[in-house]
Amino acid sequence: MPDFTDCRRLPGNAYAGANGKKIGIEYKGEQYMLKFPPSGAQKKTEISYTNSCFSEHIASSIFNMAGVEAQKTILGTFNVNGKTKIVCACKDFTADGSRLLDFCSIKNTVIDSEHNGTGTELADVLDTIEKQQFVNPQVLMEHFWNVFIMDAFLGNFNRHNGNWGFLYHPVHQQTSLAPVYDCGSCLLPQADEAVMRAVLEDEKELHARIFRFPTSALKYNEQKINYFDFLMAAENDDCNAALKRMFPRINMVEISAFIDTVPYISELQKQFYKYYLNARYELILSPAFSKRG
């Protein structure tokens, strides 16, 4: 597995985001952003992202397996003051000179909206998708709901307006969808070994993490969306269409085989990720898909 410690730093590359340190490096002639696990010195009220680097790599890879373009990632190591840390290298999709425009910024360009860019009320987000002039609204709507279905499968609780968006290509003055990125909030990144064992051994612990939480960062009637309840209600035609598109693309055999190859994680972690994803597939996506005929 790669050791990124001696890779050339790219001091001109700085990355936003609150969870963990990030630096730009050159690896095998290409630009990457290295995401480090948090130091652990967090307030008790904050969520621990202990396994966020693994979540980032596994979830991004699963998006790509399902045909939704996501960032390319590699797990490796980096030495910090004599300590070896496991990091996730995310290939920089702006290395060609493109600019990343997050949805929050795009939302602020819709001047007849009564809500600001950070608002995640579903109706307002969908209104912005229809009114924005950066990419084809129909293409963007399909992409939005494709990502929503995958986030429901992966248990992402933090797909807010600042971590998805578009690429602006200044040479051609064109805008396209950005690959999916910032997936560190998938797959219960805060779960330690005790939680993993509890989920594997106690159906109530599993069901709490399937039917109650994590919820989406999106809100419906000012409440965060519960993935199971929302998908079973089947009230949004675009969401229904996305579920019909995406469900057949999710290959649990392929995903399980991939997780077995992920470096650095223990056998307990592999068992947990496979069990948790299979449960979300069988208990959330499958009944919702069957309901739609």
CB burial of residue 49 (10 Å; 0-12, 13-18, 19+): buried
Strand segments (E) across the chain: 8-9, 22-27, 30-35, 73-80, 83-91, 99-102, 165-169, 174-177, 219-220, 223-224
Type of residue at 154: L
| pLDDT at res. 63 | 98
How far lies 43's CA from each of 16, 20, 37, 72, 235, in Å?
A: 20, 14, 16, 31, 39
Structure tokens at 122: 């579903």
Tens digits of residue pLDDT in 127-139: 999 999 889 999 9
CA torsion angle for 242, 243, 248, 253 (degrees, to 10)? 120
pLDDT of residue 13: 73
The domain 8-91 having CATH identifier 3.30.200.120: the answer here is: yes
| pTM for this model (two decimals) | 0.93
Strand order in the sheet with 165-169: 99-102, 165-169, 174-177
Q: Which residue has the tokens 């590699």?
A: 74
CA pair distance 22, 117, nearest whole angstrom: 24
Where does residue 115 fall: left (phi above 0), alpha (psi -120 to 50 degrees), or beta otherwise? beta
Short-list 258, 70, 32, CA closest to 182: 70
In sign, the C-alpha dihedral spanning 106, 33, 187, 196 is negative
Residues (pLDDT < 50) of the chain are: 41-48
pLDDT score at 113:
56
